[in-house]
């Protein structure tokens, strides 16, 4: 089970061991956690603005966020993700 993003904006640290102290550190495409970013998406290379927008969006996900349906054919956890 993938953990929910619900409440991520309330604080750090991030990752199972708390290794990322901020979302900026976690999502830095040139940073320490690039293997996590590229898992299932080898071309993850957001612009600075896209990264800023992504972080701002993730920080808004809370109990008031409306849920939406996911296409059952969508492969969110591909088998080729490095372990």
The mean pLDDT value of the chain amounts to: 80
What is the model's pLDDT at position 76? Answer: 61
Average pLDDT over residues 21-47: 82
pLDDT band at 16 (very low <50, low <70, confident <90, very high): confident
What is the model's pLDDT at position 77? Answer: 61
Q: What is the pLDDT of residues 60-82, one digit of tens each?
A: 888 888 887 777 777 666 555 55
Enumerate residues 6+ apart whose C-beta is below 8 A from 50.
none
pTM (2 decimals)?
A: 0.67
CA triplet 43, 46, 82: central angle to 5 degrees? 40
């Amino acid at each position: 089970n993938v953990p929910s993003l619900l409440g991520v904006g309330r604080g750090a640290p991030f990752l199972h061991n708390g290794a990322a102290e901020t979302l900026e550190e976690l999502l830095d495409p040139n940073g320490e956690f690039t293997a996590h970013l590229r898992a299932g998406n080898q071309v993850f290379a957001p612009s600075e603005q896209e990264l800023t927008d992504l972080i701002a969006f993730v920080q808004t996900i809370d109990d008031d966020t409306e849920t939406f349906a996911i296409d059952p054919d969508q492969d969110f956890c591909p088998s080729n993700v490095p372990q």
